[in-house]
Each structure stands twice: as C-alpha cells, then as structure tokens.
Amino acid sequence: MSTSTHKKNVKFSFPFGVLNRDLRLIFASNFVGAFGDGLYAYILPYYMAETLRASPVEVGILYAAASLATTITLLVAGVLADKYDRKKIMIAGWAAWVPAPLIFALANNWVQMLPGMVLWGFWLGGPTTTAYVVSAADRNRLTLTFTVISSSWSLGYIFSPALGGYMAGKVGMRTVFHLAFVLYALAGLILAFMSSQHAQTTPQKTLEKHPSSLQLLRTRKLFVISVFFAVVMFVLMMFRPFIPKFLADAYRYGDFEIGVLGSVAFAGSAVLGILLGRLGDKWGKGYAFAVSMASCSVSLTIMLLTGNLYPLTIAFFLTGASYTTWSLMSAIIGPMAPEPIRARWASIPQTVSMFASILAPYVGGLLYSFSPSFPFAIAILATAALAFIALFQKF
C-alpha cells in the first residue's frame, strides 16, 4: 500500500479507526441507549410537575434517590466487574434501566415514580466500561478512544429531546416512555455480541495489597485524583442545572431557544471531545483536561456578558467540552489501576465525584437565590483555576 493511500484510509477511518469491533459495539449501544434516554430525560421534571403534580421538593426527592442509587452502584459495579465477566455486568446495567420508563408510564403520582428513579440511577456500566475499554483499547490512543465512545452519548442526545417533546405533544408521554423502553432493551442486546472480558489474575500477594476500597482510597495517588475530580464535578454541577433557568430569567428565552442551545452544547461535546482526545494522546491528558476547563470558563464568561443568540451559540458549543469530563477522567484513572482491581480502582474516584455532584446543586441554588450570576461567576474562576492545576498534574 502506498503512503498516500494509507493516509487516505486513516483520514477516512478517523475518529472511529481507534475502535475495534468490541468498542464499536459499545459505541453503538451507547448511542441507541442515549437516544432513548434523551426522549424523556430533558422533559421528565416538567412531566413530574405538570402531569403528576409533584412539588419542587418532591421532584428533588426523586432525583436525589436516583443520584444515591448511582453512587452506591458505582462501588458495587467495581467489585463485580473485577470478579465476573465485564460484558455481563454492562448488559446488566442496561437491563436495570429497561423497566424504568415502563414504571414512569404507569405512575399516577410521584411516589409511584420512585422505583423507576432508583432503577434509572443504577450505573453498573461506569467503572465496568472504564476497565473494559482500558483492556481492549490501544494504549497509545486511549484518550481518543474514551472521548470517541463518550461522543456516542452526545450524538444520541442532540436530536432526541426535541423528538421526545414533539411526540409527547402529539401522542402523549406514555408512548415516549414505551419507545425509550424498546431502545434501552436494544442497547443491552447490542452488547450481547461483544467479546467476554475478565480481569487478569495475578499472584495472591498482589491482590492482598488492596483488600478493600477504603484502603485503596488511602493510596495517595488515588486519594489526590479522587479529590481533584470531586472538586471538578462539584463545580460543574453547581451551575449546570441552572443554565436553562438563567437563560429564561436573564434573557427571557423560551423553551425552543433553550432547547436549541442545549442541542448545540451536545454537538460541541461530540466534536470537541474527539479533538480533546487527540490532544490528550499527543500532548498529555492533563493538557486536554486543562483545555476542557478553560473552554468552560470562557463559555460562561460569554454567557454572562451577552444575551445575543449568536455569541451564545458559540458559548454553548464551547460548553460541550465540559461534558467530556467523565471520559477524560476514565482515560486518566483507568491506566493507573492494576488490572486485577481496575474496575474497583476506577469506581472510587467516580463514586467520590458523584457524592460531590449530589451536594453541588443545593449550593448552586443558594448562590442563585442571592444573584442569578453568582454560581456562574464563581464557576468561571473555579474552572480557570482547575485548568491551571491540571496543567501541572502528572496524569
């Protein structure tokens, strides 16, 4: 094969050339599942309030239950994925989600939504997917691999909220929930065609060095990285839930404009995530993470300075870089872990980060009550500081 032909093939395969057959199946599964999730996730709080007559406190209880379930299942998934077939754990993650939209469709009040929200919070795929990808991917292109796989979620979310809202108005939310049920089941079915993967065994004395998750957290490297990402997730979740409200309160935007800007953010996540992945593999993961945080800081600055739709479109596209945080975190923590305990190792910073994200919206709400610009102004400074810190971390 000539050099020119090889370059053309590489260009044609980018960015999916970094994904082997198993990783492409994960990409496809995530895309299908995310599309189903996006059909109702964006409008679910509205449905709870308007159709089920749930108060703001009751809506908060439902989402807190989902977040708590996520936090608990991350640790459980880490343990299971190091003992059993990781493929089966990932399928079980989708299987837990399958009944959730059916429960939502049958619920007549907010209490009946609770079992569905708990199942919706199950996230067995978090550390399991991290461990699977690290073992299956090319280590020289690991950051790009994670961000490409992450982009499948963003691509699934770009158009599905608009479609779900349209369907809800035409045929009702129950039909939307039923379609999400089908897509969740299909996402799990796609993973059935993947190769099985088990953690590699090592001598018993190696495993005894890390007998518990608590002792793992005492490992200085893991403790520092867990604290760092907890701060990152706290900052992001402190302001992110209030963006639609700020656009409505400060600039008088309606549902359509807010929805369009949300789609732009997911499009930015898909595009910028892939670019950050290449950047991370070439210049270092810390540099890619710094660019992600800096983009977030710049985007929020633009949002506070102007309500004009065109600059806001640019700002929200840049905001998409902050949605790559989880994939960049996976690319950073995954290779650090010993293979026999990789999933459990990855589950610890993910769990700590989720705990931080539970508390963050409450703090953001308090700041917003003082002034709508407060949570965003603080986030501008915080993300700039995090970008600076990331540059000097040896990820």
Joined together, the tokens standing for residue 271 give 């595009």
Q: What is the pLDDT of residue 302?
A: 96
> Taking a C-beta distance cutoff of 8 angstroms, is the pair 124, 89 a contact?
yes
Instruction: Of 257, 239, 252, give the one whose Cα is nearest residue 322.
Output: 239
Q: Where does residue 52 fall: left (phi above 0), alpha (psi -120 to 50 degrees), or beta otherwise?
A: alpha
First to last CA, the chain: 37
Residue 339: φ, ψ to 5°: -55, -40
pLDDT tens for the 395 residues of the chain, in order: 444 444 444 444 556 677 889 999 999 999 999 999 988 887 787 788 778 888 777 877 888 788 888 888 888 888 888 888 999 999 998 999 999 999 999 999 999 999 999 999 888 888 888 888 888 877 778 788 888 888 888 888 888 887 887 888 888 889 999 999 999 999 999 999 999 988 776 544 444 454 455 556 566 777 888 889 899 989 988 888 788 778 878 898 876 677 778 788 888 888 888 888 888 878 888 888 999 999 999 999 999 999 898 999 999 999 988 888 878 887 787 777 676 777 777 778 888 888 887 778 778 888 888 888 999 999 999 999 999 998 887 66
Q: What is the pLDDT of residue 129?
A: 87
Q: What is the pLDDT of residue 252?
A: 87
Q: What is the pLDDT of residue 211?
A: 46
Joined together, the tokens standing for residue 254 give 């309606």
Helix, strand, or coil here: 294? helix
pTM above 0.85, yes or no: no
Q: All domains of the chain, ordered by start, with CATH?
A: 19-196 (1.20.1250.20), 211-395 (1.20.1250.20)
Q: What is the pLDDT of residue 70?
A: 86
The C-alpha atoms of residue 62 and residue 97 are separated, in whole angstroms, by: 16
